[in-house]
């Protein structure tokens, strides 16, 4: 199924014909062994390259080139789990050289060889802790924090193992224990801590949304449509909302700062009450800082 239907509901295209044009382009990119270039896609749509690019990006949230890259990465993901070798998987996914696969794999979160093995040889450390908003489980790789979720530590540990089925899931080391203390301070005291390393993993579109969230300042809120504007995909507010709902790093990737267009608190994965408390604490801390100055 075309990714446009999986990830984005188009709300404001110039006409219904444009919906069909972008849908066909998605299918064309998904079916091609090598990605068609912008000029080819635009010519097939009967549009200028600039106009086609703007329509495509507004609907999908990515340029045609980035969309093709994301499709190729997904094919590589599937191939790595079944192919006889990493090299076979790379070429089966449509790469002409292994260097391209290893470059793109930064968005997959793991090198291809580790991804093929379901996290084999990766060490995922974990620690449970109590906060003023309830218990959390924190998971971390060698790159940084890959999970902060509210809920039952036992259930979340099972979820962590599901995400990394062949990784070595181990108790926290000294470094993670220090990180957990800092995370608790961020949650309980609305402390700003930009030094915590994050290992953010997701699709290309999700990464754009989540990275934009990390640039929001304490106490700042914005609507889903405004966040869509910030990432250059003004018609992808629904897709932005779904990316926020898929976030697995609570508070540090602050999806709680995204609200409805009328300011209402809606759609928080870990509960509206937690969202309200987080925002109240952040706004109070920001006000106190301004008052002190």
Instruction: Let me know if 255 is a catalytic residue.
Output: yes
From the list 198, 202, 158, the residue with the least C-alpha distance to 182 is 198
Helix (H/G/I), strand (E/B), else coil: 114 = helix
Confirm if 252 and 185 have CB atoms less than 8 A apart. no
Q: Buried b / exposed e across 88-117, counting CB within 10 Å, b at 16+?
A: ebbeebbbeeeebbeebbebbbbebebbbb
From the list 164, 162, 134, the residue with the least C-alpha distance to 250 is 134
Helix (H/G/I), strand (E/B), else coil: 126 = strand
Question: Rounded to whole angstroms, how far apart are CA atoms 273 and 293?
Answer: 31
Laid out side by side, the sheet with 168-171 consists of 145-150, 134-140, 123-131, 168-171
From the list 217, 227, 196, the residue with the least C-alpha distance to 286 is 217
Confirm if 92 and 99 have CB atoms less than 8 A apart. no
Question: Rounded to whole angstroms, how far apart are CA atoms 92 and 75?
Answer: 8
Confirm if 259 and 222 have CB atoms less than 8 A apart. yes
Helix (H/G/I), strand (E/B), else coil: 156 = helix
What's the token pair of residue 256? 């709680």
Confirm if 146 and 110 have CB atoms less than 8 A apart. no
- Kindly give the pairing relationship between strand 134-140 and strand 145-150: antiparallel
User: Catalytic positions, please?
Assistant: 255
């Amino acid at each position: 199924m075309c990714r446009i239907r999986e990830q984005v509901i188009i709300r404001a295209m110039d006409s219904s014909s444009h919906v069909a044009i972008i849908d066909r382009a998605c299918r064309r990119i998904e079916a091609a062994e090598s990605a068609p270039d912008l000029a080819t896609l635009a010519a097939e749509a009967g549009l200028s390259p600039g106009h086609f690019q703007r329509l495509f990006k507004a609907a999908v949230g990515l340029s045609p080139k980035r969309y093709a890259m994301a499709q190729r990465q997904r094919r590589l993901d599937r191939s790595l789990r079944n192919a006889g070798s990493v090299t076979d998987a790379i070429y089966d996914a449509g790469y002409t050289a292994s260097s391209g696969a290893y470059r793109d794999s930064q968005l997959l979160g793991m090198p291809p060889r580790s991804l093929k093995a379901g996290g084999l040889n990766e060490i995922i450390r974990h620690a449970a802790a109590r906060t003023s908003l309830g218990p959390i489980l924190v998971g971390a790789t060698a790159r940084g924090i890959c999970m902060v979720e509210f809920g039952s530590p036992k259930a979340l540990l099972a979820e962590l193992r599901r995400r990394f089925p062949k990784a070595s899931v181990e108790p926290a080391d000294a470094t993670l224990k220090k990180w957990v203390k800092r995370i608790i301070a961020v949650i309980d005291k609305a402390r700003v801590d930009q030094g915590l390393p994050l290992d953010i993993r997701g699709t290309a579109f999700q990464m754009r949304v989540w990275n934009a969230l990390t640039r929001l300042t304490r106490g700042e809120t914005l609507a889903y449509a405004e966040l869509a504007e910030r990432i250059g995909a003004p018609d992808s507010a629904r897709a932005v909302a779904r990316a926020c709902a898929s976030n697995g790093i609570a508070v540090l990737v602050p999806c709680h700062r995204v609200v409805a267009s009328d300011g209402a608190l809606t759609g928080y994965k870990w509960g509206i009450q937690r969202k309200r408390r987080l925002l109240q604490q952040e706004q109070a801390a920001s006000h106190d800082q301004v008052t002190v100055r």
